[in-house]
Structure 1
Amino acid sequence: MREYLERPGFIAEVIRTDRRKTADIRVEDGAVLIVIPISLPIERVDSLLKTKRTWIKEKIALHREAQPASEKQFVSGEAFSYLGRNYRLKVEEGAFQPVRLLKGRLVVTVPKGKDQPHMIRNALIRWYKRQAEQKLCEKVERYAPIVGVEPADVRIKTFKSRWGSCTAKGILEFNWRIMMAPNRCVDYVVVHELCHLKRHDHSAEFWKEVGKVMTDYERLRTYLKHSEYGVW
């Protein structure tokens, strides 16, 4: 269950879960996230955000300073790739609404102000992460029996220079930015990490396992190696 709270300079995404007894405030990729128990009153959430406002603003500022220069201005008409296809951004002004894919456009509603580009960027990242959570889990479920493995868990992460990883505990971690690549490339990354559950190296035996499932893996691997998805 997700809710959104508009506050000066940022939008806080509120997630209610029965797996927490206390509130947890995070700033991930410059976006504010607060995970709370299901029964916690929204007034209490507002109080927590006020208490942590200075810390939140500092975290957001540090994230912005660390970001490389981007050609994106996050305005209507800009193109953003999803599964290899470009979709035009449509920005509407008003009370915040998360990104929706409507009639071939990525539509987002944000309040007017100097922080609007940052809010749009964060809203887009949140949308890509939600798509990654759904699509990558579906693909893992599809390919795991074919590879002949069973991962311990699937998690969505932010990596600077890799598309995914397989931990020693059998947890598959995927970079949300892979959702910008063509669908076949996403399949390859999933198969690649699943095969690491058999071989934790990049030996000839490992690539043989990948090739059993995807005969065109070399082409896909080369394509991703030279791609620049998600530089914004």
Structure 2
Amino acid sequence: MTDMQTEYRDGNDFIVEVIRTDRRKTADIRVEDGAVSIIVPRHIATEKIDQLLISKRKWIKEKILLQRDLSPTSHKEFLSGESFPYLGRNYRLKVEKGNFCPVKLVEGRLLVTVPLGSEQPHMIRNALVRWYKKQAQQKMHEKVKRFAPIVGVEPKGVEIKFFKSRWGSCTVNGKLEFNWMILMAPNRMVDYVVKHELCHLIHHDHSPEFWKEVARVMPDYQECREWLRVNGMKLRV
């Protein structure tokens, strides 16, 4: 698998993540949960990327606004001092003005640097979404690798997605999909979601046999299931 290089472009009211790769010969623009990315051939000129973004600006803005309307309700204002949970611990947001930089966890604070303007709160949210997704990519792969032998299964892959009303999914071809927002829950709840989906590789339903399998690998699963039922709607960016 070829390494991908990441950079960012200011799209004027939105930030675009540029992903250069040897595996593409054409450009592909994506808008996912309000965050814009463009996947391009490794050696394409930056000027060409900017031209593509200008030509697609109307379409990108329409997608961003549509997804903003569909995203879960959040009462955050995205101001310095607000707290955001990560694996059950709260971290304070620190906003700095400047050219966009990916979120960094520095001295217990989530540091985000974005341009000043009317779209700043949305840029901050998108920066946080990108950060949670990147953490989810790493953490969920690690947990699947650790727990799959305990469950006794071999998943076909792991993907991070946004689900409106569930934490994970197991596809018919054996791939596990996880909602990136689960990273806002305590670590034990994340473990439960991973084990839950791994058990679906044995029983692709919620039969008594499935729950017996979950109980075998996680005897206290009911506490985790109840915690998510009660607190899950609070896990929002």
Partner of 1:231: 236
Partner of 2:109: 105
Partner SS state of residue 144, structure 1: helix
Partner of 2:14: 10
Instruction: Note the aligned Cα RMSD (angstroms).
Output: 1.1
Aligned residue pairs, count? 232
Q: Where in structure 2 are the equivalents of 1:25-104 lying within 5 Å?
A: 25-67=29-71, 69-104=73-108
Q: Where in structure 2 are the equivalents of 1:211-222 lying within 5 Å?
A: 211-222=215-226
AA aligned opposite 1:173: E
Which of residues 12, 24, 28 is equivalent to 1:24? 28
Partner of 1:118: 122
Higher deviation after alignment, 116-125 or 10-19: 10-19
Mind listing any 5+ residue stretches in structure 1 that lack a counterpart? none
Return the TM-score normalized by structure 1.
Answer: 0.97
Q: Is the 8 A contact 1:5 1:12 kept in 2?
A: yes
Partner SS state of residue 118, structure 2: coil
AA aligned opposite 2:116: K
Q: Is the 8 A contact 1:210 1:217 kept in 2?
A: yes
Partner SS state of residue 47, structure 1: helix
Deviation at 1:231, TM superposition (A): 3.2
Q: Where in structure 2 are the equivalents of 1:129-168 lying within 5 Å?
A: 129-168=133-172
Deviation at 1:225, TM superposition (A): 1.1
Deviation at 1:97, TM superposition (A): 0.4
For residues 78 and 215 of structure 2, what CA distance do their matches in structure 1 show?
39
For residues 23 and 213 of structure 2, what CA distance do their matches in structure 1 show?
37
Q: Is the 8 A contact 2:15 2:36 kept in 1?
A: yes
Query: Which whole-Å deviations, capped at 9, do the CAs of 1:2-24 have from their partners, x for residues lacking one?
Result: 10101211000011122222110
Identity of aligned residues (%): 66
Partner SS state of residue 13, structure 1: strand
Which of residues 176, 179, 182 is equivalent to 1:178? 182
Q: Is the 8 A contact 1:26 1:34 kept in 2?
A: yes
AA aligned opposite 1:112: L
Query: Which whole-Å deviations, capped at 9, do the CAs of 1:85-120 have from their partners, x for residues lacking one?
Result: 000000000011010000000000000000000000
Query: Which whole-Å deviations, capped at 9, do the CAs of 1:41-75 have from their partners, x for residues lacking one?
Result: 22211111011011111111222233454310000
Distance 1:147 1:218, change over 3 A: same
For residues 80 and 89 of structure 2, what CA distance do their matches in structure 1 show?
17
Partner of 2:194: 190
Runs of 4+ in structure 1 deviating by more than 6 angstroms, as ranges, are none
Higher deviation after alignment, 105-114 or 55-64: 55-64
